[in-house]
Amino acid sequence: MFRRILTYRNKIPVLIKKISNYLSLFSENMVNLISRMNKIFEKHDVKFTYFISTYLIENQANFFSHFGNHDYGPHGHLHPDYSLIGRKAAFKDMKDAISIFQKLNQKPWIFRAPYGITQIEKNSDLFFEYEKKLGINYDSSINIQKPPWKEPPHPIKHKSGVTTLPLIGVSDDVLIDNLKLNNNNEILRRFVEALDFGKTGVLVYDLHPIRMGQIKYIKILEGLIKSINAKKNFMILSLKEAFSKFYKKGEDETIVCLSGDIDNLSILDYFRRLKT
């Protein structure tokens, strides 16, 4: 993955900045971060969807138990950028991720591409064809970027028969890492602002445990849930529920789904990922 980071702005300092940023995030064990988030979800009766890169769990069959009653799905195997590695390698990475879930007695039904990138060799259909081939009918990879949107976010049906519930682009990594926001109220305000732009649609948030599970950010997560619950005709559903409910919901109803990706458990995993 060095290639992806180095080509990002073609400058080594970007890599150094990224690593120092990650070092600052790895102050706590991933299991603690997940359990802190789950406590908030339980308190507010919210079902979350975790996506996990399977290289982290191939030797940790018990890891799923940390997710409690929440949903989870594969987030690729080694977390490569599918637009850079060629079709064979992209298919293999997707297949490996799904096989590991199956080997661990899980039935993967949804997939999220690493970096939300669904383009393989400049072909925008191939990724969804591969999902279908691998028995995945539901996807949450496309990032529609931040609001305002021309129309409220909604499911996207692909030629292959796979349906995507897109990510809304207002995510913790964009707000905290890219925009460098360090005021919790401001971060929460940006998250909440997206709700009004997405009214009557379906809003999928990407809330990474590595950030939102930390003590300094966990209040934002709870604040977001409270803000959604305070809004008329807004409901928080799991991704699984949202796929079936969207076409049956009332015209004035809005669905919100909370999800989060896990692609490293420790700083060592982060370096392992860079090597791929």
The residues that touch Zn ion, with contacts defined as CB under 5 A, are 261, 263
- Cα(268)–Cα(204) distance, integer angstroms: 29
Q: Which is nearer to Zn ion, 55 or 130 (CB)?
A: 55
Closest CB to Zn ion: residue number: 263
Closer residue to Zn ion (CB): 139 or 261: 261
Minimum CB distance to Zn ion, residue 120 (Å): 17
**Secondary structure letter of residue 148 according to DSSP:** P
Dist. CA 53–CA 31, nearest whole Å? 15
**36, 206, 223 from 18: Cα distances, Å:** 25, 19, 28
Closest distance between Zn ion and the C-beta of residue 27, in Å? 19
CB 109 within 8 A of CB 73: yes
- Decide whether 70 or 154 has the Cβ nearer to Zn ion: 70
Nearer to Zn ion by Cβ, of 112 and 190: the residue is 112
Min dist CB 273 to Zn ion, Å, is 9
Rounded to 10 degrees, the C-alpha dihedral 263/266/268/274 comes to 20
In the three-class reduction of DSSP (H, G, I as helix; E, B as strand; rest coil), residue 94 is classed as helix
Shortest distance, position 82 Cβ to Zn ion, whole Å? 12
